[in-house]
Amino acid sequence: MILLWNRKFRNFLRSEKLDKVLVIILIIITINTITISWLEPDISKADAFWWSIVTLTTVGYGDITPVTVGGRVIAILDMFVGIGFLAIFTASLAGIFVDQKLKNDLGMGSYNFNNHLIICEWNSRARFIINELRRFPKTQDDKIILIANIDRKPIEDNNLFFIKGNVSDETLIRANLMQAITVIILGDDSIDDTARDAKVILSTLTVESINPNAYTVVELVDETHVKSCQRAKVDEIIVSSELSSMLISQAALNHGITKVVSEILSTKTGNKLYKIAIPDSRVGSSFLEVFTYMKQAYQSIVLAVQKGIEGDVISNPPTDYKLENGDYLIVVSQHEPRLLKKS
């Protein structure tokens, strides 16, 4: 973050318009310092320098005052010049900030964030994903970079940054993919399903070639393309048509069950899904013991156990299943359980 601001500040100072204004102001201050110290024998060069800055910025403290006719003429000229250059400097400053914001909104910027999230492609689902992430305490202030071939930044969000273009080496480098923690690759709704999945797979291969350590989540339409994504070593694959079909069939078989699923998956209200590390004191305990403990202590229901932070998931383990060091619990809870190391 510090490096990013340093680079922005350097670019800001390199602005041609601001360069000219600063050079002219520096020349005026230098001439004033030399002239006043020569015309006013009681004013030292250091005091003359201080007086020049104060007068040029129209502050006028009055602690140093020229007494000679020549000194007062210089003071009058400085006052008028100061008003003009202060207006020019302020306008230049405002113009630079407006240009920078416009450049970012049009997707022309580059970013040096760390541990940020990248979303590839823009559609209604991308909007929903961002809204959900903003409701979750852990990600409400996270930096998100959107890469999409649209005209400008689609929503107002101070921590959402936009890069215009298709997913490529160039746009991913501008998004600092090497330091990203998660990449979500969505389908392009403007093309047919086959081309859409092909574009997702190509984007996935590009991402994995630059940063194989980033956690990748991709959206597919057709289940037959899952193996291609698996060969690209994607971490999670969501087949949207299959997921929708499963929910619809469950709604037909078990009326009302989708309401439970929607509540658990949404961050708006009600219970939500959380993944939490088990405390050291629970290593070696049976699943039944931990299940009972979590319900009694945190009003949480344990649905599954994950082996490691990105390992296999065991849904509804046997009651005598022994929890191991490094296991994670997938729980349903109103609020995220805050387990102590020695709970």
**Are residues 124 and 224 both part of a single domain?**
yes
Give the pLDDT confidence score for residue 302 in this predicted structure.
94
14 has a pLDDT exceeding 70:
no
Task: Decide if 266 is inside a domain.
Answer: no
6 has a pLDDT exceeding 70:
no
| N-term to C-term CA, the chain | 36
135 has a pLDDT exceeding 60:
yes
Give the pLDDT confidence score for residue 34 in this predicted structure.
87
Among 117-126, 268-277, 312-321, whose mean pLDDT is lowest?
268-277
Model confidence at 62, pLDDT cuts 50, 70, 90, reads low
Biggest CA-to-CA distance, the chain: 99
Q: Encode 17-35: b = buried (16+ Cβ within 10 Å), e = exposed.
A: ebeebeeebeebbeebbeb
**Are residues 237 and 277 both part of a single domain?**
no
The residue range of the domain holding 37 is: 13-105
Q: Which domain CATH number covers 314? A: 3.30.70.1450
**Are residues 96 and 68 both part of a single domain?**
yes
For residues 102-112, average pLDDT: 83
**Are residues 35 and 129 both part of a single domain?**
no
Best-predicted range by mean pLDDT among 49-53, 72-76, 82-86, 328-332? 328-332
Task: Decide if 3 is inside a domain.
Answer: no
**Are residues 276 and 324 both part of a single domain?**
yes
Q: What is the pLDDT of residues 223-234, one digit of tens each?
A: 889 998 888 889
Q: What is the pLDDT of residues 87-98, one digit of tens each?
A: 777 777 777 677
Q: What is the pLDDT of residues 284-298, one digit of tens each?
A: 999 999 999 999 999
Of the two residues 148 and 39, the one the predictor is more confident about is 148
**Are residues 39 and 91 both part of a single domain?**
yes
**Are residues 124 and 205 both part of a single domain?**
yes
Give the pLDDT confidence score for residue 18 in this predicted structure.
64
Among 50-64, 67-81, 193-207, 311-325, whose mean pLDDT is lowest?
50-64
305 has a pLDDT exceeding 80:
yes
264 has a pLDDT exceeding 70:
yes
4 has a pLDDT exceeding 50:
no
Strand partners, 328: 277, 306
Of the two residues 315 and 98, the one the predictor is more confident about is 315
Question: How far is the C-alpha of 243 from the C-alpha of 218, rounded, in Å?
Answer: 13
179 has a pLDDT exceeding 50:
yes
Q: How buried is 260 (Cβ within 10 angstroms: 0-12 exposed, 13-18 middle, 19+ buried)?
A: middle
**Are residues 291 and 311 both part of a single domain?**
yes
Question: How far is the C-alpha of 342 from the C-alpha of 321, rounded, in Å?
Answer: 21
**Which amino acid appears at position 82 of this protein?**
G
Among 60-74, 194-208, 268-282, whose mean pLDDT is lowest?
60-74
pTM of the entire predicted model: 0.68
Domain count, the chain: 3
9 has a pLDDT exceeding 50:
no
Q: How buried is 259 (Cβ within 10 angstroms: 0-12 exposed, 13-18 middle, 19+ buried)?
A: exposed
Task: Decide if 110 is inside a domain.
Answer: no
Q: Which domain CATH number covers 141? A: 3.40.50.720
